[in-house]
Chains A and B, each alone.
Chain A
Amino acid sequence: MTIFAVIVSRLSKAILTLLAIAILNFFLIHAAPGDPAVVLAGEAGAADEQMIEQLRERFGLDQPLYVQLGKYVAGIVQLDLGYSFRQGAPVAELIADRLPATLLLTLTAFVVSLVMGIVFGVSAAARVGKPSDSVLTTLALLFYATPLYWLALMAVLVFSVWLGWLPGFGYETVGANYTGFTRVLDILSHLILPALTLGLFFTAVYMRMARASMLEVSQLDFVKTAKAKGLSDAVIRRRHILRNAILPVVTLAGLQAGQLVGGAVLTETVFAWPGIGRLMFESLAARDYNTILGVFLVSAAMVILFNIVTDIVYRIVDPRIGARS
């Protein structure tokens, strides 16, 4: 199969999968106790029957579940994610508002962790058994085992409260009205702590994976052949070992990439980063059905998309995969 045919077949399956996910999510969210009308009325600190009935009617919750599902699916098919009655705005707009902040954070963390993970993993494998290897491996284990939440709070405490080097909250300096390059620097300084916190865990994962995989491949016969051919260590490591050892890392990277949209809830919460993970969490607490379904759907689409991308990357890294099928 050519790459083009693979993409077409995967995409058509993806659309069906997405639809199934949307329907499943719909039932899951409606199975949770409470509904948006009760939550909203509850927050008002006083409510009567009339108010709750009014809200239910406005939200369309007074209709039978299958009618609500029908309307929702009909909307999705037309790429309409619906309206958030709680926030008084279309869901697509709410998500689009939050998406850039989240992508900036998660993509930075993704790239940083992937690059650092591979570099550290490869160098640790090259120095296996030596002190530098032990240091890297121990650090990786430490970050792998530390809860993200704790790490985030400690990062704020050390770098923001004690040292005062970096801002501990938010996306940019509120009310400073920076423009141009100053604004970019400002956002970058806000980005460092959350991106590092989020990235450290994955750096550790990639490093461990890259190191183990490098060591395994370096024992194989073709490496001996290459050595016998008289190639230099550096060339063997880059062209022969790394290329074969990278596949498990690509698999993991594909998994992480799938979580680019919804995978940073904790980090966004601790660092008050105005991203989509928080939108999801807050909407869940408020039973804001349409918003939460919208975020779920976009996240699901990302997972599927990155699965396809991963498959394609496999074929590029290791041409044998395409040839076999």
Chain B
Amino acid sequence: MKYLKLKATTFLIAATLASPLAAQEAGGRLDIVVQPEPPGLMLGLVQNGPTQLVAGDIYESLLRYDGDLTPMPGLAKSWEISDDGLTYTFKLNEGVTWHDGEPFSADDVVFSADVFLRETHARLRASLAYVESITAPDPLTVVFKLKEPFGPFINAFENGTMPIVPKHIYEGTDFANNPANATPIGTGPFKFDEWVKGSHIHLVKNEDYYVDGLPYLDEVFYRVIPDAAARAVAFETGEVDVLPGGSVENWDIPRLAEMDGVCVTEKGWEFLAPLAWMWMNNREGPTANVKFRQAVMYAMDRKFMRDVVWNGFGTVATGPIASSTNFYSDDVTIYDHNPDKAKELLAEMGYDGEPVRILPLPYGETWQRWAEAVRQNLSEVGINAEIDSSDVAGWNEKTSQWDYDLAFTYLYQYGDPALGVSRNYTADRIKKGSPWNNVEGYNNPELDKKWAAAATMVKPMERADAYAEIQKEIVDDVPVAWMQELTFPTIYRCNVNDLVTTAIGINDGPRNAWIEK
């Protein structure tokens, strides 16, 4: 009898927890780890990961995107794309104010895109090259007119890509040195309150937020904890509620995930879709030979690396486009683990044992171990590889000056191959001095034309065909060694609901999040 009663209670508790009808509860505080400490919070000026994480609650963009990259209302409540793909018209939400009380209007959008970000935002500038004019016919309407159709343009209205900044504060000033950068003013669900350098950043609820009832949380603390092991302990002791992806080393994740009331999700990275690969220097050394590059692919047991080095998180990559990005195709040559084939290719090319240097990405232990696993695999087929470690600045210098043989990296794809993929493979992006372009020096004029054409096609079906063709071709050339689609699991307390609901995850997560008491 006692046993039965116990069971009934358990069932009742389980039912309460699982109930999808639980009403959202207002109030409470959320502590989120931010690492490393951001250099600044003015999202229009700085767009690194930590800045996007924190400032994503302060600033907003016209659109948000769900996990399938379908646009959702943001500052814009509705939008329309003309049939010729040239005119994008946005209707803005009414009654939006800046955190300092000034009204928000279409002029702010025009100023942000056309003046501010055009000067400060390298990635958006590339998309703005397709734009002929940005106008505000009335205070609640913004029109972007393009010179030619640009399929991925609908993905350019994300917060890290086109954050809307206040015209009344920045017009006519030196943007980078404006004292207001220290106290960011946005339209978002949370306001900046305080930043104690080296310790935490405090955001408070925006009481005047234009979406009724949002946000639920009273305040959000972003906690700076510089040591990875200490971050794991901070979560264990309840000091923090959320560990954003990449906060702790992978081998700590299973342990934390097993704790009571702890949830783990791999969602929230669909927009960024980080794809990791090794650049292989196409200009000189053994890596200049396509047979050598193919041999590297066959030599590596990438599934083993995923399972062991990344603790099973992620997906082995098939080519340049991640499977969550639009226009992915798996109709390509598959490089499975085949050491014999690798040896064959090396013999064909007459590899003489010339040593190659592997440059790991200096982002922690996981990346170091990944490089060691690659070296192990390469030496098994007779490739003489050594690891050439460096810190972040050194890595930037070596890759941007092309001083490497094999170099680990990963790049965000921003939902569309024309935004985040082609930049690594077309010849016009071979430029010394930046690690975010065609660093490997791959030069294929035929494919360059196809990349360019695919970007400006109007019909999604045509684009899909074009990109499928590109993927098939480039995978045989192996300009880089595609490693895996990375997922950075978010670890959080299960009583935090609706934390990850969009394609950019926690970056705008606190907007909808609520805590079950």
Q: Contacts of A141 on B, CB cut-off 8 Å?
A: none
- The answer to whether B436 and A160 have CB atoms under 8 Å apart is no
Per a CB cutoff under 8 Å, which of A32, A43, A48 touches B434? A48
Task: Answer yes or no: B36 CB below 8 A from chain A CBs.
Answer: yes
Task: Answer yes or no: B472 CB below 8 A from chain A CBs.
Answer: no
B122, B125, B219, B435: most-surrounded residue (chain A CB, <10 A): B122
Q: Contacts of B412 on A, CB cut-off 8 Å?
A: 45
- The answer to whether B230 and A270 have CB atoms under 8 Å apart is yes
- The answer to whether B225 and A169 have CB atoms under 8 Å apart is yes
CB within 8 Å for A161 and B40 given contacts A45-B47, A48-B126, A272-B225: no
What 7 new A-B contacts, CB under 8 Å, besides A169-B234, A170-B199?
A: A32-B393, A47-B435, A88-B39, A270-B230, A272-B230, A282-B37, A286-B39
Bound together, the chains give a CA A41 to CA B436 distance in angstroms of: 9
Bound together, the chains give a CA A157 to CA B227 distance in angstroms of: 14
Q: Contacts of B122 on A, CB cut-off 8 Å?
A: 41, 44, 46-48, 50-51
Q: Which residues of chain A from 136 to 150 have a CB within 8 Å of any chain B CB?
A: none
Bound together, the chains give a CA A208 to CA B316 distance in angstroms of: 56
Bound together, the chains give a CA A230 to CA B31 distance in angstroms of: 68
Bound together, the chains give a CA A128 to CA B436 distance in angstroms of: 66
- The answer to whether A43 and B39 have CB atoms under 8 Å apart is yes
CB within 8 Å for A58 and B225 given contacts A38-B393, A48-B126, A88-B40: no
A34, A89, A153: most-surrounded residue (chain B CB, <10 A): A34
A39, A51, A153, A272: most-surrounded residue (chain B CB, <10 A): A272
> Beta-carbon contacts of A93-136 to B below 8 Å, as 1s and 0s?
01001100100000000000000000000000000000000000
Q: Contacts of A32 on B, CB cut-off 8 Å?
A: 393-394
Among B56-64, B137-145, B373-381, B396-404, the stretch that binds chain A is B396-404
Bound together, the chains give a CA A322 to CA B233 distance in angstroms of: 53
Interface size on A, residues (CB 8 A): 55
Q: Which residues of chain B from 383 to 425 have a CB within 8 Å of any chain A CB?
A: 390-398, 400, 411-412, 423
> Beta-carbon contacts of A25-58 to B below 8 Å, as 1s and 0s?
0000000111100111111111111111000001
> Beta-carbon contacts of A164-178 to B below 8 Å, as 1s and 0s?
100111110011000
Task: Give B50's nearest chain A residue, CB to CB.
Answer: A43
Task: Give A174's nearest chain B residue, CB to CB.
Answer: B200
Bound together, the chains give a CA A167 to CA B200 distance in angstroms of: 16
Task: Answer yes or no: B12 CB below 8 A from chain A CBs.
Answer: no
Q: Contacts of B394 on A, CB cut-off 8 Å?
A: 32-34
Task: Give B124's nearest chain A residue, CB to CB.
Answer: A46
Q: How far, in Å, is A322 (CB) from chain B's closest CB?
A: 43
Task: Answer yes or no: B24 CB below 8 A from chain A CBs.
Answer: no
Task: Answer yes or no: A287 CB below 8 A from chain B CBs.
Answer: yes
- The answer to whether A58 and B176 have CB atoms under 8 Å apart is yes
Q: Contacts of B227 on A, CB cut-off 8 Å?
A: 269-270, 272
A-B contacts, 13 of them at CB < 8 A, read A35-B397, A43-B49, A44-B48, A46-B436, A88-B39, A157-B233, A160-B233, A169-B234, A174-B199, A175-B200, A175-B221, A272-B199, A285-B391
Task: Give A170's nearest chain B residue, CB to CB.
Answer: B199
CB within 8 Å for A274 and B225 given contacts A88-B181, A161-B237, A286-B39: no
Task: Answer yes or no: A10 CB below 8 A from chain B CBs.
Answer: no
Task: Give A149's nearest chain B residue, CB to CB.
Answer: B227
Q: Contacts of B391 on A, CB cut-off 8 Å?
A: 285
Task: Answer yes or no: A295 CB below 8 A from chain B CBs.
Answer: no
Task: Give B200's nearest chain A residue, CB to CB.
Answer: A174
Q: DSSP majority for the B interface?
A: mixed
Bound together, the chains give a CA A167 to CA B234 distance in angstroms of: 10
Q: Which residues of chain B from 206 to 239 have a CB within 8 Å of any chain A CB?
A: 219, 221, 223-227, 229-230, 233-234, 236-237, 239
Residues of A within 8 A of B (CB): 32-35, 38-52, 58, 86-89, 94, 97-98, 101, 153, 156-157, 160-161, 164, 167-171, 174-175, 268-275, 278-279, 282, 285-287
Task: Give B179's nearest chain A residue, CB to CB.
Answer: A88
Per a CB cutoff under 8 Å, which of A38, A45, A268, A287 touches B123? A45
CB within 8 Å for A175 and B198 given contacts A153-B229, A160-B237, A161-B237: no
CB within 8 Å for A33 and B397 given contacts A44-B122, A169-B234, A285-B391: yes
Bound together, the chains give a CA A101 to CA B436 distance in angstroms of: 38
B47, B176, B434, B435: most-surrounded residue (chain A CB, <10 A): B434
Task: Answer yes or no: B182 CB below 8 A from chain A CBs.
Answer: yes
- The answer to whether B237 and A86 have CB atoms under 8 Å apart is no
Q: Contacts of B239 on A, CB cut-off 8 Å?
A: 167-169
- The answer to whether A168 and B230 have CB atoms under 8 Å apart is yes
Bound together, the chains give a CA A315 to CA B496 distance in angstroms of: 64
CB within 8 Å for A38 and B397 given contacts A46-B436, A169-B239, A174-B200: yes
- The answer to whether A88 and B233 have CB atoms under 8 Å apart is no
Q: How far, in Å, is A171 (CB) from chain B's closest CB?
A: 6
Q: Contacts of B198 on A, CB cut-off 8 Å?
A: 97-98, 101, 273-275, 278-279
CB within 8 Å for A278 and B226 given contacts A40-B39, A171-B199, A174-B199: yes
Q: How far, in Å, is A61 (CB) from chain B's closest CB?
A: 13
Q: How far, in Å, is A198 (CB) from chain B's closest CB?
A: 15
Q: How far, in Å, is A6 (CB) from chain B's closest CB?
A: 38
Task: Answer yes or no: B303 CB below 8 A from chain A CBs.
Answer: no
Q: Contacts of B229 on A, CB cut-off 8 Å?
A: 153, 270
Q: How far, in Å, is B505 (CB) from chain A's closest CB?
A: 15
Q: Contacts of B236 on A, CB cut-off 8 Å?
A: 161
- The answer to whether B237 and A285 have CB atoms under 8 Å apart is no
Task: Answer yes or no: B29 CB below 8 A from chain A CBs.
Answer: yes
- The answer to whether A175 and B202 have CB atoms under 8 Å apart is yes
Task: Give A271's nearest chain B residue, CB to CB.
Answer: B230
- The answer to whether A156 and B230 have CB atoms under 8 Å apart is yes
- The answer to whether A45 and B221 have CB atoms under 8 Å apart is no
Bound together, the chains give a CA A274 to CA B199 distance in angstroms of: 6
- The answer to whether B390 and A33 have CB atoms under 8 Å apart is yes
Q: Contacts of B224 on A, CB cut-off 8 Å?
A: 272, 274
Bound together, the chains give a CA A89 to CA B182 distance in angstroms of: 9
A43, A49, A58, A160: most-surrounded residue (chain B CB, <10 A): A43
Task: Answer yes or no: B46 CB below 8 A from chain A CBs.
Answer: yes
Q: Contacts of A156 on B, CB cut-off 8 Å?
A: 230, 233
Q: Contacts of A88 on B, CB cut-off 8 Å?
A: 39-40, 177, 181-182
Q: Contacts of A50 on B, CB cut-off 8 Å?
A: 122, 125
- The answer to whether A42 and B436 have CB atoms under 8 Å apart is yes
Shortest beta-carbon contacts, A-B, top 4: A274-B198, A34-B393, A43-B48, A46-B123
- The answer to whether B176 and A44 have CB atoms under 8 Å apart is no
Q: Contacts of A175 on B, CB cut-off 8 Å?
A: 29, 200, 202, 219, 221
Q: Contacts of B337 on A, CB cut-off 8 Å?
A: none
Per a CB cutoff under 8 Å, which of A42, A52, A58, A153 touches B392? A42
